[in-house]
Amino acid sequence: MNDSPLLVDTAPHAEPLPLAGLLALACAGFITILTEAMPAGLLPQIGAGLGVSQALVGQLVTLYALGSLLAAIPLTLLTRGWRRRPLLLIAIGGFAVVNSVTAFSSHYGLTLAARFFAGVFAGLLWALLAGYASRMVAPHLQGRAIAVAMLGAPLALSLGVPAGTLLGTLVGWRASFAIMTGLTLLLLVWARWQLPDFAGEPSSKRLGLRQVLALPGIRAVLWVTFTYVLAHNILYTYIAPLLVPAGIDGEIDRVLLVFGLMALLSIWLVGVWIDRHLRLLTLISCAMFAVAAVLLGLWFNCVVVIYVSVGLWGLAFGGLPALLQTALAKSAGNSADAAQSMLVTVWNLGIAGGGLAGGLLLERWGAVVFPWAVLGLIVLALGAIRAKGLPAR
């Protein structure tokens, strides 16, 4: 196990990563994403349990995203002076509370409120993770540490959400959220045991939000984040109509499995090279996504090309969060948490924008225009990277 390049630096003085602590951070991300996405796979059961329509159940996801969007920056700025481990434990513990409320609530309004606060805790947690991981290791291992800490999100999307949906079908949606609470409590113990504590940012060294935004590289990273995530979510949100011309709209689960598996491979590859070739890997990620978009645009009715394109897309996207968060951490220095809160906000704007823009494009021109819209957005991202707004390593 210690021979893996993700765990051991290949420099002359090899230093192992603090894997137990980093995996605790990854598990926190896993629980966050699973909490966010699980209602989407259990719409009929939750609707029946709360006595509301599936459309209203869908708003549980909307309120979660809204909580993250509104809370990430203000909460991060408010808690910059707090010691890091207690703050992280509060964010993790918040999920135990809100998932318990969701499991036992019989009132739709109370469940909505719980979901909003789940998003609030998620916004704070995601703002902390990358900075926490980078402080646990030497500078030359920061990218690799962040890559390990970010494992939870793609694992939750590719494996956790289908497993959560199956679990909800077998034992019921309330029991599923109760199990999530139990897992969160175990994670709290693990995190308290394995994670070191760090001091908050001294008031004398705190930069204002505008000062952080003005640091070299910050705006470029945020711009790449927005354009890339916007492009990704146009495709990901409306993958079903995109598959109709090829007659495989009934194979969404297989298509997304290919995406998820290639995303996991991407994370491993990025983890190997991120500390040496940060900007190059980000360029390659954008280039692969652009190639996938062109293939989808030209041969949208060919099954083989669709699977190849989705594989390329997954390979491009999987390691992107680690790349962007590492670039932001290196650019922001001591203000990493404040910068990461901006990334959380911009990321959620990209998700919301992808859903809105994709819906408008679908109504006006149909799904066949999606790849070309994606290509245009990725060209904008490439322009920011090539202008050397991102650190090289």
pLDDT in tens, 83-107: 999 999 999 999 999 999 999 998 9
Query: Does residue 8 surpass a pLDDT of 50?
Result: no
Q: What is the pLDDT of residue 13?
A: 44
For the chain, give the mean pLDDT: 85
Contact 1, 267 (CB under 8 A): no
Report residue 392's pLDDT band, with 50, 70 and 90 as the boundaries. Answer: low
Structural tokens at position 159: 């494996």
Residue scoring higher pLDDT (333 or 282): 282
DSSP H helix total and E strand total for the chain: 18, 0
**How far lies 345's CA from each of 11, 103, 221, in Å?**
36, 28, 13
Residue 57's pLDDT is: 79
Name the pLDDT band for 389 (thresholds 50, 70, 90).
Answer: low
pLDDT category of residue 202 using cuts at 50, 70 and 90 = confident
Tens of pLDDT, residue by residue over 184-199, are 999 999 999 999 999 8
Going by pLDDT thresholds of 50, 70 and 90, the confidence category of residue 391 is low
Contact between 191 and 71 (Cβ < 8 Å)? no
Alpha-helix runs per DSSP H in the chain = 19-41, 43-50, 54-78, 84-104, 108-135, 142-149, 152-155, 161-171, 173-194, 209-213, 218-237, 239-243, 252-273, 278-298, 303-317, 320-332, 336-364, 370-386
Q: What is the largest CA-CA distance in the chain?
A: 63
pTM, rounded to two decimals: 0.81
Confidence at 321, pLDDT banded by 50, 70, 90: confident
Share of the chain above pLDDT 90, in %: 35
Q: Please report which helix (H) or strand (E) contains residue 17, including its range.
A: none
End-to-end CA distance of the chain: 26
Q: What is the pLDDT of residue 80?
A: 85
Q: How far is CA 100 from CA 37, 277, 314, 319, in A?
A: 16, 43, 33, 32
Q: Above 60 in pLDDT, residue 79?
A: yes
Task: Give the pLDDT confidence score for residue 10 in this predicted structure.
Answer: 40
| pLDDT confidence of residue 14 | 54
pLDDT digits (tens, 9 = 90+) for 173-186: 899 999 999 999 99
- Between residues 110 and 333, which one has the greater pLDDT? 110
| Residue, of 58 and 3, whose pLDDT is higher | 58
Q: What is the pLDDT of residues 264-277, one digit of tens each?
A: 899 889 888 888 88
% pLDDT > 70, the chain: 93
pLDDT digit string, tens, across residues 104-121: 998 999 999 999 999 999
Q: Please compute the mean of the pLDDT values over residues 243-261 and round it to a whole number.
A: 81
What is the distance between the alpha carbons of residues 152 and 138, in angstroms, rounded to a whole number? 22
pLDDT class for 6, splitting at 50, 70, 90? very low
Span 120-137, mean pLDDT? 90
pLDDT tier at 210, thresholds 50, 70, 90: confident
- Residue with the larger pLDDT of the pair 371 and 163: 371
Confidence of residue 217 (pLDDT cuts 50, 70, 90): confident
CATH says 19-205 is which class? Answer: mainly alpha
In the chain, which segments carry CATH 1.20.1250.20?
19-205, 210-386
Q: Could you tell me the CATH superfamily of domain 210-386?
A: MFS general substrate transporter like domains (1.20.1250.20)
Q: What is the pLDDT of residue 3?
A: 39
Q: How confident is the model at residue 20, as a pLDDT?
A: 92
pLDDT value at position 192? 94
